[in-house]
Structure 1
Amino acid sequence: MLCKVIFKKSSAYFHTCFSCLKANRGELKFILPPGYIHDHNDKIVFDPNKRIQTAIKFMFSQFKTHTSIRQLLQWYKSENVSFPVRKIGHGNPIVWEIPNYGTFKRILQNPLYAGVYGYGKRKTIHEYKDGALIKKTSNYLPYDQWKVFIKNNHDPYVSWDEFLEIQKKISINKPRWEKDENMGAIREGIALFVGLIRCGHCGNKLYVSYKTKPMSGSYFCRGNNRESGKKCLTFGTVEVDKNFSCELIKALKPFAVQAGIEALDLVESDNTQKIIMAQQEFQNARYQADRAFEQYNLADPKNRLVTSTLEERLNSRLFDLNHAREKLENLNQSIKVFTEDEKEMIFSLSKNFDSVWNHKKS
């Protein structure tokens, strides 16, 4: 019995050492997320599928224009945009589906997309109890505590600096109760300073309460003793927000026209990317349908056990093809192309930024 325990312990030790040696060279293989594959030399490279590459790059660019992962997810759902997801098991295939929160969170927080090869991301403890090996792992460690951290190991989708900005943005949006500098995600309501200002007495974040009267609310501090129900301070939102708006308009007005130009460019760029992704989806669906037809056409018609399965697969691929075609056609019809008059109107609104800001529908 003792020999078995020693053998198991030695095997685990040598396996760990061997894995560390390979990881130190960036050669230890693991299942890669969407957008990457291992080439014939076991190096991490971009997935050659251009549709997958486009989808990953577009997701990162979209996150720059959204304030949180949930807002990004809401955009994908409202636009009915599919995203590549790697399913574990049976060859770990890539499937296209409407993403969920975890899909984006795992990608946005994975330094692999910034060209980093990592190993030993968690602290692992091996223990033996009643002759059995028990493996315990902790939460993810900071980057500087990883066993292996290799920058520029492979081609990135975002730079390391961009990746750190993404982590900062995600961290800021986390709701926390302790005294920190996080403002939290932007939420509904007319108040301008939600999550931005603190109490001058105790340093806690100020909250907002809205009254039944339209366009009216109050900032208040709950204080350190929240159970008492006493508020540290309270003041109305109207005058504070009004004075701040005046100063903000003065500061932003010189840049309003340029912001209008960039907004138009952003809309046109997003529309172009959506068209490209829809075209790639249609091309892939057509390829899958052609391939299914070839397989069906080569089968022996007398072998119904085979042809019935191939026929079902062909019908499924044809359904996907029609769906992709309709999606592309609808997108081409719904895409907004700004006329010169509309562009001039947007530039005019940019010049009158104060009127736009103070408009009741803004």
Structure 2
Amino acid sequence: MCEGRVGVVFAIEVSRLARNGRDWHTLIEFCGLVGAVIVDEDGIYEPRHPNDRLLLGMKGTMSELELSLLRARSMEALKQKARRGELFFTVAVGYVKVGCDKIERDPDLRVREAIGLVFSRFAEMQSIRQVFLSLRSDQIALPYINPRISGQQHVLWKPPVYTTVSNLLTNPVYAGAYVFGRTGSRTIIENGRKRIVRGRRKARSDWAVLLVDHHEGYLPWADFERTQRLITDNANGKGMMVRGPVRKGEVLLAGLLRCGHCGRRLLVGYNGAKGDVGRYKCDATRSTPDGDPCISFGALRVDEAVGAEIVRLLQPLGVEAAIQAIAQREHQSWRKTAPDRVGARTGAI
């Protein structure tokens, strides 16, 4: 068209050429520059004439509004279905779709046991990375679904990768919950062009739909929330307000202490001849190397004092629990021997 080789643009309905106002008016401008006309079933439009140009602009505006209304109605219909817990674009591995609006656990025992193994190992190790390494070490394959294969859902198996384990442990569908709107999109301007960034995770308070006890899960919802708290606390890269993962070492309060001056988490360092003498220190100088360090102190006396206090507080509870256990044991023994005693007395009489 810019070379002047197009004289006519045909369309069944001219407004259908308008996806947005910018593209539509660009087309009208090019047609006016090269002298091309636009033709649809209603008539012939000459973009160089003001009246035809006005009519084409109104048709484009009406088409853009119509598309917006159709999109809004379609999205509202999807949201209504999601609020009922009946909208499924895809089904997570470990589940199968039943009918049009329900899901159930996969009848394949191998799939169920593999997914259950991931959750049981996390309950034991409390670290996604440690679960991933243990599965790789034991050469245990995990199920997955190839999204490129259309048609009926077909489960494949492969050695575990970190992302697969993380997705299994953080997806609320495995806790029997239906969720819609966990991710969203964000529009940015990059190199002068619009770019849509998809897959941005939202906070739980921003989820559109959350239905607990929607279907049978692989673990209770309370255990799932505990798992999410552990995963959040294990993330060192999310600032100094998280607890941090439990690491090797002899100190008692790793990840539990805060600096009284700046509020940062106290890190642990080891020194001494054998490298087993712990020391708590503030990490303020890492972000501001030129600043003054806040506090640093040895761990021996602090851990000893806190440990002694814990033992003092728990000791009465331990004694009381032991007394209750003994009493319960004696009561159970008496109930077991009571029929024999009654029988013996009856025989004697």
Q: TM-score range by the shorter chain?
A: 0.5 to 0.7
Query: Cα–Cα, structure 1 residues 177 and 167, in superposed 2: closer, same or farther, change >3 Å?
Result: closer
Instruction: Give the CA RMSD over aligned residues.
Output: 3.3
Match of 1:185 in 2: 245
What is the count of residue pairs matched by the alignment? Answer: 252
Match of 1:226 in 2: 288
Query: Pairwise mapping of residues 1-362 of structure 1 onto structure 2 (< 5 A)?
Result: 2-3=15-16, 4-5=18-19, 6=64, 8-91=67-150, 92-124=153-185, 137=198, 139-176=200-237, 178-180=239-241, 182-211=242-271, 213-214=273-274, 215-223=276-284, 226-228=288-290, 230-246=292-308, 251=314
Query: Cα–Cα, structure 1 residues 38 and 235, in superposed 2: closer, same or farther, change >3 Å?
Result: same
The answer as to whether partners of 1:87 and 1:95 remain within 8 angstroms in 2 is yes
Query: Cα–Cα, structure 1 residues 121 and 67, in superposed 2: closer, same or farther, change >3 Å?
Result: closer
Deviations 1:111-163 (A, max 9, x none): 11122222223345799xxxxx9866472223343233222221111222221
CA distance in 1, matches of 2:165, 2:117: 12
What's the CA shift for 1:223? 3.5
3-state SS of paired residue (1:65): helix
Match of 2:55 in 1: none
The answer as to whether partners of 2:185 and 2:200 remain within 8 angstroms in 1 is no
Greater relative contact order: 1 or 2 (C-alpha under 8 angstroms, separation 6 or more)?
Answer: 1
The residue identity in structure 1 corresponding to 2:252 is L
What's the CA shift for 1:13? 3.1
The residue identity in structure 2 corresponding to 1:202 is C
3-state SS of paired residue (1:33): coil
Deviations 1:234-289 (A, max 9, x none): 2223333344455556648959xx9xxxxxxxxxxxxxxxxxxxxxxxxxxxxxxx
CA distance in 2, matches of 1:162, 1:219: 32
Query: Cα–Cα, structure 1 residues 165 and 177, in superposed 2: closer, same or farther, change >3 Å?
Result: closer
Select the structure of larger CA radius of gyration. Answer: 2
CA distance in 2, matches of 1:238, 1:68: 27
The answer as to whether partners of 1:222 and 1:230 remain within 8 angstroms in 2 is no
CA distance in 1, matches of 2:238, 2:76: 42
The residue identity in structure 2 corresponding to 1:234 is S
Larger helix percent: 1
Deviations 1:220-240 (A, max 9, x none): 123377322632222223333
The answer as to whether partners of 2:186 and 2:200 remain within 8 angstroms in 1 is no
CA distance in 1, matches of 2:168, 2:146: 14
What's the CA shift for 1:41? 4.4
Q: TM-score, normalised by structure 2?
A: 0.62
Query: Cα–Cα, structure 1 residues 14 and 249, in superposed 2: closer, same or farther, change >3 Å?
Result: same
Deviations 1:56-87 (A, max 9, x none): 22221221111211111122122222221222
When structure 1 is superposed on structure 2, of 207-216 and 102-111 the one drifting more is 207-216
Gapped regions of structure 2 (runs ≥ 5) = 1-13, 20-63, 189-193, 323-349
Gapped regions of structure 1 (runs ≥ 5) = 128-132, 259-362
CA distance in 2, matches of 1:208, 1:134: 43
CA distance in 1, matches of 2:108, 2:154: 13
Query: Cα–Cα, structure 1 residues 116 and 204, in superposed 2: closer, same or farther, change >3 Å?
Result: same
3-state SS of paired residue (1:209): strand
CA distance in 1, matches of 2:128, 2:199: 25
CA distance in 2, matches of 1:64, 1:44: 26
What's the CA shift for 1:171? 0.8
Deviations 1:14-65 (A, max 9, x none): 4323322322322222221211010234411111101111222222122111
Query: Cα–Cα, structure 1 residues 147 and 205, in superposed 2: closer, same or farther, change >3 Å?
Result: closer
The answer as to whether partners of 1:67 and 1:185 remain within 8 angstroms in 2 is no
3-state SS of paired residue (2:243): coil
CA distance in 1, matches of 2:296, 2:261: 12
The answer as to whether partners of 1:183 and 1:196 remain within 8 angstroms in 2 is yes
CA distance in 1, matches of 2:160, 2:264: 36
